[in-house]
Amino acid sequence: MNVMQHLSGLIGPATAAQLCERLAGTTVYIPAIPSASSRLVLAIGHGPAARLCDALAGACLCLPSRTSQERTRRHEAVLYDLRRGLSVQEVATRHGITDRHVRRMLKAQETPSCL
């Protein structure tokens, strides 16, 4: 599970997107109790920040950068198109990448990441 999925489960997808948009590419410490002036509260409000603190107190979250988020979205879209039955060449053209890159993405998806 990636950071965005985990955050979405805790504070909802819209608030998770807002947090990552406002603090993209930074590491955020999650305190036990959020103060009114904390970056977390200023980014998403007290209610969602309190839910994060309850679930992740003491943790440091490395929020994805905008580039990383775009890359993840493109990767998911490429795999979706391949599952729909589009050819490697069609997917490459559609997403503005090389067919070699599409094949690497497909191979990485098929290879287990840990044993």
Task: Report pLDDT for 113.
Answer: 54
pLDDT tens readout for residues 16-44:
989 988 998 899 999 999 999 999 999 99
**Which segments of the chain does DSSP mark as H helices, in order?**
3-11, 13-22, 39-44, 46-56, 66-83, 88-95, 99-110
**Residue 115 pLDDT level (bands cut at 50, 70, 90):** very low
Sign of CA dihedral 83, 112, 2, 89: negative
pLDDT of residue 114 exceeding 70: no
Say how far apart CA 78 and CA 48 lie, in whole Å: 32
Collect all residues with Cβ–Cβ distance below 8 Å to 52 and sequence separation of at least 6: 7, 10, 11, 30, 34, 40
